[in-house]
Structure 1
Amino acid sequence: MKLKTAVATAALLLPLVSGAAGKPPPKPAATQKQPVENTYHGTTVADPYQWMESATDPKVQQWTDTQNAYTRATLDKLPGREGLRQRITELLSWKSPAYGGLEEKGGVILAMKFQPPKQQPTLVVLGSLDDTSKERVLLDPTQVDPSGKTTIDWFQLTHDGKKVAVSLSKSGTESGDVSVYDVATAKALGNDVVPRVNGGTAGGSLAWNAQGTGFFYTRYPRGEERPAIDREVYQQVYFHALGTPTEKDTYALGKDFPRIAMTDLEASDDGKYTFARVANGDGGEFELYLHGPTGKWAQVAKFTDKVVSARFGSDGAAYLLSRKDASRGKVLRLPLATPTLDKATVIVPEGEATVQSILPTKSRLYLMEQLGGPSQMRIVDLAGKPLGLVPTLPVSSVGGAVRQGADDVLFANSSFTTPAAWYRYSAADGKVTKTALARTAAIDMSDVEVVRTEATSKDGTKVPLTILKKKGTKLNGKNPAWLTGYGGFNISITPGYNPMAGLWLEQGGVYAVANLRGGSEFGEAWHQAGSLTKKQNVFDDFYACAKLLVDQKYTQPKKLAIQGGSNGGLLMGAAVTQHPEQYGAVVARVGIYDMLRTELTPNGQFNVTEYGSVKDPEQFKALYAYSPVHQVKDGTKYPSVLFTSGANDPRVDPFHSRKMVARMQAATSAPKPILLRANAETGHGAGTPLNARIEEEVDVYSFVFNELGMTYKPNATKKPTAPAPQ
């Protein structure tokens, strides 16, 4: 999955079909079944919708068009839709810019800037952290592609800050080609386009050499080097010298990597050393390789060493984050003169918080730590002596730390009620100053309470749950509530300002976020307790959170909407099939629903180390027990469900949504709609244009409002003063 942010998929770009006013649109005809069976370890499993896995079959395309027409006929006539459209457009098009991905090299600071109404973020050079008028645009993808469908995947500066390599992909494919730009002139170096450095399966990365004359990069198989089935796997590391044809790039590393290797590259500040961190798929196992002045690559850590990340210091050492006998992480110091693990020493032992990442500076280490959802930034010296905490917002997330000078840092900080801003921390006096890179609030949440509580899961595990509600909200069981979660891939849902949550709250709703097992909230043990054969724990945790909202009278089942995307879409599929009586509406975005067939897809192969494989008897048993499409029961009264998918999705094949919709429509005995919103021009969420995102949210919120019996109230809106466009 390799998700870094919340899933935001795009709009349906198909003709609209309206139903007759006041009457529900006619439901699509029952989906054709074909007799197909598969046998796993002696268990025969019927798969009557296997024919729907082909995206190129005209019958599948016709079926999808019919479903989209039914969805449009259902959604387009809903009451309150235009009011919601106006409000959602206002919120998601808020003029105050957002900045992310800051990087500084050679005195140059670059950032990604999201400035509505632009459809995609732009790459800008920041002239000053305190005066945004001094910034300039380096690359605007909407100038490259006026359709708004091209996006910047990531960028990497040379050590002197004079050149930048940028990965660009189209239409949500995440298949990124790298181009090199001159930072001063913003002009592309035309001969240096390296194809398919980034992908939706193994991601992508590069690291410049010291002179800025070339870079190591991640390379997928090209042309006929491998069969078509292998072109999204077998990622390796190559070196590209500027000014030479990419066909002459030289192999560096990776022939012995796993088939499902995912590699991140990072160079030291002087460019003399480069780390390659190699993941074995999505399950959280990593190897570490080092390239140094000798010109050779050497392995530093094996999968069994449980070194999960590494950063270069400025003191001739590297700092490694290890989970060997330390589920919540410990920090090792590794001298680069003798880069073998037996020479590494523990300088920060495992503590109460889970170490997520490290930033070394001249005389300090800044540790980004997870605390069950919220996070903090802790400081130690290079010997591990505690130096306190960086002051941050309460119940907030901290990230993106960038060194400034010797020991100062820039960092991003956001809470559920405060928009993200970049702050400068001064090591000399311990003061935090807000920079000009701060987004204003699109919606006022000053009257919102943030309640941190715990639900008790089936096996007694305490599961963190954050509940947002307006002050004075009565706990009478009558409030509409919105619950979301993820629970997988060592990813935590951290606090963040979400204007769509604000919309829900201003309309009288309660908004809740569950921190489920499978994430990184409490270290690797917490992750492992929600993966492989223990995945059912995630679904039990989510149900416990839903039940708490009902038991404590925040809401009632028919007023409870749930939403999740990707692995969270799988969560929605499991939730609705295991406890259909608990929910009033379900929004399942770009999810996995056939756990027995997912590993046959390119990215599904990477997921095996997280979910398991049908080839293993015990893992098959666990997968089959919760696989949503196989757990749909005929004659069950299912709640309303809206499924979304993107045809270009490189992470979750859209066939999952097709099969799940067909199965649920055939099985349900309730009059509630089971809808598919299949987008022909987007992917998993990355790169979705702003207008397309707005269209999807209009569909989602009008659907949920209608199914929970809510009426949109424009007079509930509190409008802060919009800043002048920058």
Structure 2
Amino acid sequence: MVRNRAPGAALTADPRPTADILHGRPVPDPYRWLESADSPETLRWLREREREYTREAASWPLRERMAELIRAFVATDLWSPPIHREGLAMATVRPSGSEHPRLVVLGDDGARRTLYDPAAEDPGGSTTLDAWEPGPGGRLVAVQTSSGGVERGTLRVLRTDTGTRVGPEVTGVRYSHVAWLPGGAPSFYYVRRDGARGVRGVWLRRVGDGAETLVHACTAPRTVPGVKVLGGRWLLVTESHGTGHRTDLWLADLAGADPARPLLRPVQVGPEAETEARLGPDGLLYLRTTLGAPWRRICAVSPEDPGTENWREIVPQDPGATLDAFAPMGSQRAAELLVVRTRLGISEASVHDARTGGALRAVELPGEGMASSPTDPAPDGSVYLAYADVATQQRVLRLPPGTGRTELWPPGSTPPPPAPEIGRTVLHCRSADGTRVPVTVFAAADTPAGAPTLLHAYGGFGRPRQFGFSATVLAWLSSGGRYAVAHVRGGGDAGREWHLAGSGRGKPRAVQDLVAAADALVSEGLCTRRRLCLSGGSAGGLLVLAAAAARPDLCEAVIASAPLADMARFELLGLGRMWTREFGTVADPDDFAALMSYSPYHRVLDSAARSPGQRFPRVLLTGFDGDTRTDAAHPRKMCAALLAADGEGGSPAALLRYERDVGHGPRAVSRAVGLAAEVHAFAAHRTGLCAR
């Protein structure tokens, strides 16, 4: 159901007198009917948004130019770090010009053989390879795929010599860890929910006939289980309570035990700390943890008695740099630890003595960028990791033991092409409560003051902003724009306390930090309000919408990709019920007050009631009908509210770019290029960016 607002104005949705009474307060929700994604009236409304978007996008001058640049920047082979098994290396590679990564097997002679290619299974391009894990002898590999973006897919086991399937498939699996048992009949642990019993936990599955046994059930609500087998002997079971907030860990010795009934002993259960465990070549358990260290440290303990009272600190925290990744390497006699820290988005890597924690050597990285995904040690003790920076596509590096010098992998692969010279500076602003918030700014050397500027923020789940490769950002910078990132609270850029200060009832601080960052860019003369566009996705989409709703004069435009928007009902949509540790819950009166203080949907509804003619920044929302994380009802309802609040004719206050058969995660390269090019062509159009 739609209505005409005025001659030449966009068609808008009919509001309906729907409201809830929460903690004695009426909470309006006039566009709740848009939560029904497939109702005839929602589909009619979406068709009108599609026509509206198509009409507007046709007038954006840089649309084709952005797509051309982005395609050129991604036209390289993209590898993942390899996993080694019995003389074989397995990795994914997305060859230049291909739509999806494929799983390949590499022999000792460097010969490459494709084991699984999602494009061969689904030429339409909607199937993605989500995860994979080779068995201990390298004869079998577990492969997880999904279609249409829903991220609930199929788990199958393939033979690595022929690619043929072994045993029955499992459906409804979502990015499960797969942990193979060593020896005997092939079996593995994995994570799933039993729909009939409502039990989510860790299951042991026999490959041949698919027989299963529940090994560990999650008893706490809203937790995410995980599982690994370390060193072929130790079963590690984890439960994550709210992303980035708390991890419980248990360990069981599988030697001589019934794998279906492991005796799980607590490693860390109860403390508000996030912890990751890996086994070293010396047989010790190494733990990267925020327990007693908000910037993270590494501790060691014997797996025979792994309780926290026995932990010994090996690598202390470094205030100022988050310890984001580590990997044991070397040999039993010369065990070492690769340590990767991030300081305001830039990685620093070093190798430490696993016994004393002392730094042995710095690791030479190709530039100022992001090092990530270090593997378990290969048979020769080497570790592989990924590296990328703002102007350089991801490459894989091999770090041999006993050295800090990395090598490009696979041997003979072509390094990424030379990158444009991009400068990086850091400025600081003062948030509303006086907190000093850093802002990183990227620009080409000849970018003038006042150039159109994208200001990006995420600020959620304790994730630090890391500056890897983005073809979209590089296209923007190459076209003469400036790109800035606000390291707001709620992210992990300044340790765990920085995260907690911007989560739950503190989430409004993250919004205030972003507002302060935008004001600082203007006051420093780097851009003007009319040349500033905010950009964020998912939790970052919530943040940029909240900042623009709180300060409509803040900027010219906003890009909000797959955002949260209705914070009164986020727990009922997508995975929102799993995120109450991050945002709070409407069931708690104090959490509810904080949520409603920044909920973009409700701020816009309130603004519409107070001043119908108020001009908001022009907003481009993206939504994906397969999104099972941030339900596409959020951008639909936000778009309707913005259109109703707009008091001007002509260009609509909000555009909705809505896609089908894709979700929150990976997609075909051509669709990713199209999305990125169009949203940034919108930003260029609104801020006046012209191609060089």
Q: In the TM superposition, what is the alpha-carbon distance from 1:237 to its structure 2 partner?
A: 0.8
Residues 296, 317 of structure 2: 8 Å contact kept: yes
Residues 419, 439 of structure 1: 8 Å contact kept: no
For residues 206-226 of structure 1, what are the alpha-carbon distances to aligned partners after superposition, in whole Å with 9 as ceiling and x for unaligned?
Answer: 10001271000101223x444
Q: Which residue of 2 aligns with 1:667?
A: 645
Q: Which residue of 2 aligns with 1:250?
A: 213
Structure possessing the higher relative contact order (Cα contacts under 8 Å, 6 or more residues apart)? 1
Residues 245, 272 of structure 2: 8 Å contact kept: no
2:262 corresponds to 1:292 = no
- Residues 199-278 of structure 1 mapped to structure 2, 5 A cutoff: 203-211=175-183, 213-222=186-195, 224-226=196-198, 234-245=199-210, 248-256=211-219, 258-269=220-231, 271-278=232-239
Match among 473, 483, 498 for residue 511 of structure 1 = 483
Q: Which residue of 1 aligns with 2:144?
A: 167
Q: Which residue of 2 aligns with 1:115?
A: 95
**Identical residues among aligned pairs (%):** 28
- Residues 375-454 of structure 1 mapped to structure 2, 5 A cutoff: 375-383=347-355, 384-402=357-375, 403-405=377-379, 407-436=381-410, 440-441=415-416, 445-454=419-428
CA distance in 2 between partners of 1:575 and 1:287 (Å):
35
Q: Which residue of 1 aligns with 2:3?
A: none
2:561 corresponds to 1:589 = yes
Superposition TM-score, scaled by structure 2 size: 0.91
Q: Which residue of 2 aligns with 1:351?
A: 318
CA distance in 1 between partners of 2:416 and 2:404 (Å):
27
For residues 76-131 of structure 1, what are the alpha-carbon distances to aligned partners after superposition, in whole Å with 9 as ceiling and x for unaligned?
Answer: 24334344443344344x1x211125322333221121224322111112346xx9
Residues 244, 274 of structure 2: 8 Å contact kept: no
Q: In the TM superposition, what is the alpha-carbon distance from 1:389 to its structure 2 partner?
A: 2.2
2:517 counterpart SS class: helix
Relative distance call for 1:25 and 1:213 in structure 2 (3 A) is farther
For residues 620-672 of structure 1, what are the alpha-carbon distances to aligned partners after superposition, in whole Å with 9 as ceiling and x for unaligned?
Answer: 11000000001111232112111000001010111111111111111122444
Residues 278, 288 of structure 1: 8 Å contact kept: yes
Residues 282, 608 of structure 1: 8 Å contact kept: no
Residues 141, 150 of structure 1: 8 Å contact kept: yes
Relative distance call for 1:166 and 1:82 in structure 2 (3 A) is same
Q: In the TM superposition, what is the alpha-carbon distance from 1:182 to its structure 2 partner?
A: 1.2
Q: Which residue of 2 aligns with 1:645?
A: 623
CA distance in 2 between partners of 1:282 and 1:68 (Å):
34
For residues 540-561 of structure 1, what are the alpha-carbon distances to aligned partners after superposition, in whole Å with 9 as ceiling and x for unaligned?
Answer: 2212222222112111110111
1:184 counterpart SS class: coil
Q: In the TM superposition, what is the alpha-carbon distance from 1:194 to its structure 2 partner?
A: 1.7
Q: Which residue of 2 aligns with 1:192?
A: 168
CA distance in 1 between partners of 2:338 and 2:631 (Å):
39
**Coordinate RMSD, CA, aligned:** 2.2
2:551 corresponds to 1:571 = no
CA distance in 1 between partners of 2:274 and 2:364 (Å):
29
Relative distance call for 1:487 and 1:80 in structure 2 (3 A) is closer
2:302 corresponds to 1:335 = yes
- Residues 616-655 of structure 1 mapped to structure 2, 5 A cutoff: 616-632=588-604, 633-634=607-608, 635-655=613-633
For structure 2, the 5+ residue unaligned runs are: 1-5
Q: Which residue of 1 aligns with 2:660?
A: 680
CA distance in 1 between partners of 2:228 and 2:84 (Å):
14
Q: Which residue of 2 aligns with 1:55?
A: 37
Q: Which residue of 2 aligns with 1:38?
A: 20
Q: In the TM superposition, what is the alpha-carbon distance from 1:250 to its structure 2 partner?
A: 0.8
CA distance in 2 between partners of 1:618 and 1:218 (Å):
35
Residues 295, 322 of structure 2: 8 Å contact kept: yes
For residues 377-402 of structure 1, what are the alpha-carbon distances to aligned partners after superposition, in whole Å with 9 as ceiling and x for unaligned?
Answer: 23221222222321224432111212
CA distance in 2 between partners of 1:670 and 1:387 (Å):
64
2:626 counterpart SS class: coil
Relative distance call for 1:292 and 1:27 in structure 2 (3 A) is farther
For structure 1, the 5+ residue unaligned runs are: 1-23, 227-233, 717-726
Q: Which residue of 1 aligns with 2:68?
A: 86
CA distance in 2 between partners of 1:121 and 1:114 (Å):
4
Q: In the TM superposition, what is the alpha-carbon distance from 1:255 to its structure 2 partner?
A: 4.4
Q: In the TM superposition, what is the alpha-carbon distance from 1:677 to its structure 2 partner?
A: 1.1
Q: In the TM superposition, what is the alpha-carbon distance from 1:25 to its structure 2 partner?
A: 10
Match among 466, 480, 488 for residue 494 of structure 1 = 466
1:580 counterpart SS class: coil
Match among 92, 98, 103 for residue 83 of structure 2 = 103
- Residues 137-156 of structure 1 mapped to structure 2, 5 A cutoff: 137-156=114-133
